[in-house]
Structure 1
Amino acid sequence: MTDRADTTTCPAATFDDLLALRPDVVRCPYGAYAAQRDSDPVSYNEQLGAWIVTRHEDVLDVLRDATRFSNRMASGPSSVSGIAQQILQNADLPERTRQQAARRIELSKSRVLLFSDPPLHKRQRSLVNAAFTPRRVAELDGAVKELTNQLIDNFAADGPTDVVAGFSMPIPMTVIATLLGVPPSHMATFKEWSNAFTRGVGALSHDTNAIIEIFDQVDAFYDYFTEELDRRREHPVDDLLSDLLAARLDGEAPLTLAELLQMLVQFLVAGNETTTNLLTSALWMLAKDPALQESLREDHDKITNFLDEVLRLEPPVQGIWRVAVDEVEVGGTRIPADGLIYLVTGSANRDPSVYSEPDEVDLDTARARHLTFGRGEHSCLGMNLAKMESKAALTVLLERCHSIALADPDEEVTFHRSFVLHGIESLPITFSSPSR
């Protein structure tokens, strides 16, 4: 066992403090979760307009039941689609932005993967599985290790490296861009698109300039991949776009353009931002704990359990959204039909009724029961890819770097302004004696 900061070290706060994006609560929301879990585990929040569910048992029950709980609002009210709805009601915004918002809303009418319910979800997932073949994923392991070595070669020899920009972000961004056939020359633009889609998640308000920037980038993403899909139809190549266009099931229609574009958005965000946050949180935990580093260096097999503990303790996505199809009871509380539900997986993952010593890292017990990747019908499609990337990267890093330490242990770490996406903005780390 390795000690972790328990929930009592998080600031005293309410869930509304988290929704207000109070920086110390965004950084450490687990105290607010624990208070909510103990006092009112299923409750309606006026500010969010949703029922908040915090206990592991209740969260799991909802995740497993795709019949009574719909995914049609899977990104909740704080999302690009949510902002788009607001834009159409705001005559003060430029006409171009309003047209871009209308395009987003029209595309969103095609319920895809994360936003679809059975039986549509089963059809789409089967088609995507035909493209995400084990061969394609396995082939990436060597590429990730090669890229990791290149990034380590660029670490500062006598000073700190910001591992977000220099390690955690380039690895998943390069992998998903490679899968989608995006050339290296487009990497900076690709990152801007990813940022645009995630800026809308987990923040309940945005200023006008931010909204215009978001939808300029969103529209550019749609334009680029519409053209790329047209090219692949004429000239298929060995990449994910061509595979998705070719995917067929007996008796089923191929994926539509709207379905394809919405899938690509989900691949971009899930394959890039969340894995970046996973890797950064892993490095943050390692940098604070030399004994943990040494344990993983001595036994690389434990990296798998370590990553599951990072996913449990510092999940890149702190919650999942559902909508009650009919009036239903959750944890003894009645939720009306069409009631929006926010399942706080970040709370469920630390529920002491399920996990002994829930705030500590346990490398010896496989705690893959965490709910960070969801469960049941909508378990995360890319979880094996994320784990493969992260394990390959950490294996190389631990082999080559003899010491990983925070550049300034007293400096407060700043997290992105979101109550849903949980990620560190910048993390300067020093690496002693990296082998060359």
Structure 2
Amino acid sequence: MARCPHLAYGPMREEGKPLWIERVQAYALTRYDDIVEVLRSPERFSSAMASGPGSVTPLARRLVADPGTGPLLRARAQRRLDISASVVLLNADPPLHSRQRKLVNRAFTARRVLAMEPSVRRLADDLLDAFIGDGRAEMVGQFSILMPMTVIADILGVPPEMHPTFKRWSDAFVAGTGSMSLGDEAIAELFACVDEFYDYFTDRIAERRENPTDDLLSAIISARIDGETPLTQNEMLQMLVQFLVAGNETTTSLLTSVMFKLVGEPELMAAVRADRELVPVVIEEVLRLETPVQGIFRTANEDVEIGGVLIPKGSNIYLVYGSANRDEKAFRDPDELRTDRASEGNHLAFGKGEHFCLGAPIARLEARVGINAWLDRTTEISLDANPGDIEYLPSFAQHAIKRLPLRFTV
């Protein structure tokens, strides 16, 4: 299922009705039009539980309620609950979401993203320099993880020596989403990492208050909602968590999936090498076909009927982006990568409407620059493994390759 979830989505779309998924305690929507309708109706469908019942906050809630939870883990879980009680961005509904988004929009304007391109290109070349002479590399660990991690760390003012720790924190926050079977040891490690993150950025916030710089953290501290109300400490920490996760995992998956598609289809690779204008087109098609975030959750604010099914008020709804992006009614030849695809339907890899991903321009920039750098520095790239041996993360929410061994010539 993790490797090819699309085989399961097709029959669900044909059924046309929301399907109750006991394991995630949600009604799954798989059709493009139904999902877009929910995304465009924030007054009827709340984003309060956007990461779903398997994410870190619900896990913390269960730990606090369990009398068998040890004192240290209980304290860490309670801290998570206290901080996550502050509703920001991903979990905020209008009008609060609209006001908060205006505070951080300036960090993601087209002009600022364009200005990042030279530094992102230097980063891509530096990463390639480390292994280009070897003739082989494992793309995920040696490139796809490091590129977006470095970019978001720089945006947040995290120094290079902290980057490995920064990545470990990101992994911890993501571990609670999409996996419903974490063991006791993994849960303890997860909350230890969450605590470290909070401690580190609590100190950095205090430092930036005294000595502001030009990074996003300083901008968040100085921001004022409606021109007068500053963000609270917990709101800032919650916002930083979202930037950390969004700026890391999805772009790692995208870079790797684009390369896997290229090395698996020699004709496509040749076409892209011959015409680099196709690189952004391929990126959009891979976003659609191999959607990094397979879905997101909403909560019904009222009783609603979708596809003939009555969904009670308060129910979780899982919007399966990965299915919508292959919906036959929204896309011609939905399972094919087409370099001539018109915009007959916009993919949902970055969402739509009020909560369209803030970092989409940066993800697209990193993917375009990263793939072009590989093509510039090599004459041939091939998979250094059996395609059937490529493993994916065991997650229903994330679609990501764990390792991608490559062989290349320069």
Q: CA–CA distance in 2 between the matches of 1:357 and 1:337?
A: 36
Secondary structure of the equivalent of 2:305?
strand
Does the 8 A contact of 1:131 with 1:247 survive in 2?
Answer: no
Find the partner of 1:405 among 382, 385, 398. Answer: 382
Which residue in 2 is equivalent to 1:110? 86
Secondary structure of the equivalent of 1:259?
helix
1:281 Cα shift? 0.6
5+ unaligned residues in a row in structure 2: which ranges?
none
Are 2:341 and 1:365 aligned? yes
Q: CA–CA distance in 1 between the matches of 2:172 and 2:140?
A: 18
Does the 8 A contact of 1:323 with 1:339 survive in 2?
Answer: yes
Secondary structure of the equivalent of 1:27?
coil
Cα separation, partners in 2 of 1:225 and 1:158, compared to 1, 3 Å: closer
Are 2:409 and 1:425 aligned? no
Match for 1:378: what amino acid? H
Which residue in 2 is equivalent to 1:50? 26
Which one is further off, 215-224 or 293-302? 293-302
Find the partner of 2:116 among 134, 140, 155. Answer: 140
1:1-400 matches, cutoff 5 A: 25-155=1-131, 157-248=133-224, 250-367=226-343, 369-400=346-377
1:417 Cα shift? 1.5
1:48 Cα shift? 2.1
Does the 8 A contact of 2:255 with 2:367 survive in 1?
Answer: yes
1:139 Cα shift? 2.5
Task: Provide the TM-score with structure 1 as the length reference.
Answer: 0.91
Q: CA–CA distance in 2 between the matches of 1:47 and 1:217?
A: 26
Which residue in 2 is equivalent to 1:415? 392
* 1:341-364 Cα shifts (integer Å, max 9, x gaps): 001010010011111111111112
Overall identity of the aligned pairs, in %: 47
5+ unaligned residues in a row in structure 1: which ranges?
1-24
Does the 8 A contact of 1:132 with 1:240 survive in 2?
Answer: no
Q: CA–CA distance in 2 between the matches of 1:386 and 1:182?
A: 19
Does the 8 A contact of 2:100 with 2:225 survive in 1?
Answer: no
1:306 Cα shift? 1.0
Task: Provide the TM-score with structure 2 as the length reference.
Answer: 0.96
* RMSD over equivalenced CA pairs, Å: 1.4
Match for 2:341: what amino acid? T
Secondary structure of the equivalent of 2:125?
helix
Match for 1:208: what amino acid? D
* 1:49-100 Cα shifts (integer Å, max 9, x gaps): 1111001111111111111100001000111112101111223332111111
Which one is further off, 292-301 or 255-264? 292-301
Q: CA–CA distance in 2 between the matches of 1:409 and 1:366?
A: 33
Q: How many residues were matched structurally? A: 409
1:410 Cα shift? 4.5
